[in-house]
Chains A and B, each alone.
Chain A
Amino acid sequence: MEIDNLVVRYGEKTAVDGLTLTVTGGTVTSVLGPNGAGKTTTVETCEGFRRPDSGAVRVLGLDPIADHDELMPRIGVMLQEGGAWSGVRALEMLRYVASLHAHPLDLPALVERLDLGTCGKTPYRRLSGGQKQRLSLALAIVGRPEIAFLDEPTTGLDPHGRREIWQLIRDLREDGVTVVLTTHAMDEAEQLSDQVHVLSAGKVIASGSPDVLTEHGAKSLEDVYLALTAPSAGETT
């Protein structure tokens, strides 16, 4: 996935301001940044939901807007919230999205892995936050995508649930799926990522592996992040 000098504006406001980054296939890449840094806009541009004002985005060699129909079967998207009819049952939604794909994952195994069996017949509006998160993750990966965009995948999960999702993300990478993660959880990014990009004011302000960014563990990723994104840091760089 290649983003070159991307600019996206909402009216007068520039959400992404000349952002350039590359995601290598088969890795877990985390995109970090404060609220309003341009993370969601960047990812949504890669998913074809936002049109760049300038710059170029290629995902699997395709233009997310011009090649939308060709690209969508090849990527999986986990939305931050919503994404299902309020009256649809959890398993019904999963079966429906699976039916749009040619080679979906084995549903009973996926349901068991994400612990969706107990809420399978529950309408979406009555699912807990954690259940919605797990369903949303299942919907993102059920089509066996080449790239999975996961937006804050462990928000609302208890510590056990977080660890299970972390292991699932590791399994995805091990099996050759490229994972692009947006998260505010620094421990998550540090544990899972091969590469981390820190965004601020629509630009990449730091990139590297967690090991490099933390100076081989001398600092925590959270300390590094806080130093990079402190209000005064922007004024001096």
Chain B
Amino acid sequence: MSTRTVYAPQPGSTSWPRKVLAHARMEFRLLLRNGEQLLLALVIPLGLLLLLGGTGLGDRLPLGDGPAIDLAVPRVLALAVLSTSFTSLAIATGFERRYGVIKRLGASPLSRTGLLAGKIGSVLAIQLVQLIVLTGTGFALGWKPVGGVDAVIGIVLMVLCGTAAFASLGLLMAGVLRAEATLAAANLLYLLLLVGGAVMTPVDEYPAGLQGIVRLLPSAALANGFAHSTLEGVIPWAAVLSLTLWAAVLGYLVSRTFRWD
């Protein structure tokens, strides 16, 4: 007969980086199994890029002056960051709260910073996949970015600052609204920003009276930042500043509203 397991207490937490890595890996795996999240993260941005850059549709839409694929890639990259770090994250976190996952994790050694860092880690991992797929498709369709190293730095900064700002917005929404309300509000805001937030259309194409307001939106900063990086080859410091300010304000609100149940 086998001896029974000894349950004598031996509590302890593994190191913070290991916990963050474990959580990021778990969320990443779960997203890969979730069809709706994959749709948001990859299928919609990829489909839009193919439509705008591969069919001639981009030439008829107000994307700006220049080859449609060069104009479409930075804006689709902005859309990808928006969908993953905001919409997808907000909906997933809202339902984690509904299903008691947040509560379960609150009673584990993960810690609040570990949970948030793990979520951000998972979002960044997904965005790395998005970047590879979307820029690869862009190159295949004739995309010719300018600027070399500065463009690369600009893209990386936009991904990081955009993730910080929009993930904070998503977590804030999931923290104060019920799961169903988060689902509806995150999708609605996604569509509103897509159409009215200068994600797919440059700010200059909006009516003059609206341009001042639209320019202040984080979505406009994100899309313009990507566009300046790849179309002009510069590091978009104004967009970095704007997104950092948004991240600071929204991050503060998340820290004030976060709860484990």
Q: Which of A48, A84, A99 contacts B101 (CB 8 A)?
A: A84
| Interface flags, A60-82, vs B, CB<8A=1, else 0 | 00000000110011111101011
Closest beta carbon of chain B to A214's beta carbon, Å: 28
Given the known A-B contacts A143-B109, A171-B7, A175-B6, are A100 and B101 also in contact in the complex, defined by CB atoms under 8 Å?
A: no
**Which residues of chain B are within 8 angstroms of A92 by Cβ–Cβ distance?**
26, 29
- Decide: A102 and B5 in contact? CB cutoff 8 A: no
- Decide: B106 and A49 in contact? CB cutoff 8 A: yes
Q: How far is the CA of A145 from the CA of B92 in the complex (A)?
A: 29
Q: Which of A48, A82, A172 contacts B100 (CB 8 A)?
A: A82
Closest beta carbon of chain B to A174's beta carbon, Å: 8
- Decide: A73 and B22 in contact? CB cutoff 8 A: no
Closest beta carbon of chain B to A103's beta carbon, Å: 4
**Which residues of chain A are within 8 angstroms of B19 by Cβ–Cβ distance?**
99-100
Q: Does B207 interact with chain A (Cβ within 8 Å)?
A: no
- Decide: B101 and A85 in contact? CB cutoff 8 A: yes
Within A96-155, which residues are at the interface with B (CB < 8 Å)? Answer: 96-97, 99-103, 105-106, 109-110, 113, 139, 141, 143-146
Q: Does A208 interact with chain B (Cβ within 8 Å)?
A: no
Q: How far is the CA of A176 from the CA of B10 in the complex (A)?
A: 10
Q: Does B60 interact with chain A (Cβ within 8 Å)?
A: no
Q: How far is the CA of A145 from the CA of B8 in the complex (A)?
A: 8
| Interface flags, B248-261, vs A, CB<8A=1, else 0 | 00000000000011
**Which residues of chain A are within 8 angstroms of B33 by Cβ–Cβ distance?**
87
Q: Which of B7, B99, B106, B260 contacts A177 (CB 8 A)?
A: B7
Closest to B8 in A: A175
- Decide: B5 and A105 in contact? CB cutoff 8 A: yes
Q: Which of A47, A102, A175 contacts B12 (CB 8 A)?
A: A102
Within B105-128, which residues are at the interface with A (CB < 8 Å)? Answer: 106-112
Q: Does A83 interact with chain B (Cβ within 8 Å)?
A: yes
- Decide: B12 and A103 in contact? CB cutoff 8 A: yes
Q: Does B55 interact with chain A (Cβ within 8 Å)?
A: no
Q: Does B96 interact with chain A (Cβ within 8 Å)?
A: yes
Would you call the interface of chain B mostly helix, strand, loop, or mixed?
loop
- Decide: B7 and A49 in contact? CB cutoff 8 A: no
**Which residues of chain B are within 8 angstroms of A83 by Cβ–Cβ distance?**
99-101, 103-104
Range class of the B interface residue count: 35 or more
- Decide: B9 and A171 in contact? CB cutoff 8 A: no
Closest to B27 in A: A85
Counted as pairs of residues, one from A and one from B, with CB atoms less than 8 Å apart, the total is 129
Q: Does A212 interact with chain B (Cβ within 8 Å)?
A: no
Given the known A-B contacts A72-B111, A87-B30, A100-B110, are A49 and B103 also in contact in the complex, defined by CB atoms under 8 Å?
A: yes
- Decide: B99 and A100 in contact? CB cutoff 8 A: no
- Decide: A79 and B7 in contact? CB cutoff 8 A: no
Q: Does B144 interact with chain A (Cβ within 8 Å)?
A: no
Q: How far is the CA of A81 from the CA of B14 in the complex (A)?
A: 26
**Which residues of chain B are within 8 angstroms of A143 by Cβ–Cβ distance?**
11-12, 108-109
- Decide: A144 and B5 in contact? CB cutoff 8 A: no
Q: How far is the CA of A197 from the CA of B45 in the complex (A)?
A: 58
Closest beta carbon of chain A to B47's beta carbon, Å: 24
Q: Does A22 interact with chain B (Cβ within 8 Å)?
A: no
Q: Does A185 interact with chain B (Cβ within 8 Å)?
A: no
Closest beta carbon of chain B to A157's beta carbon, Å: 19
- Decide: B9 and A72 in contact? CB cutoff 8 A: no
Q: How far is the CA of A45 from the CA of B107 in the complex (A)?
A: 12
| Interface flags, B13-52, vs A, CB<8A=1, else 0 | 1100011001100100110011000000000000000000
Q: How far is the CA of A229 from the CA of B22 in the complex (A)?
A: 46
Q: Which of A99, A110, A146 contacts B14 (CB 8 A)?
A: A99
Q: Does A54 interact with chain B (Cβ within 8 Å)?
A: no
- Decide: A105 and B7 in contact? CB cutoff 8 A: yes
- Residues of B at the A interface (CB closer than 8 Å) are 4-14, 18-19, 22-23, 26, 29-30, 33-34, 95-96, 99-101, 103-104, 106-112, 260-261
List 6 interface pairs A-B (beta carbons < 8 Å), by A numbering.
A73-B109, A75-B11, A103-B11, A113-B5, A146-B9, A177-B9
- Residues of A at the B interface (CB closer than 8 Å) are 44, 47-49, 68-69, 72-77, 79, 81-88, 92, 96-97, 99-103, 105-106, 109-110, 113, 139, 141, 143-146, 171-172, 175-177
| Extra A-B contacts (5), CB below 8 Å, given A85-B96, A102-B12 | A48-B107, A49-B107, A85-B99, A86-B99, A92-B26
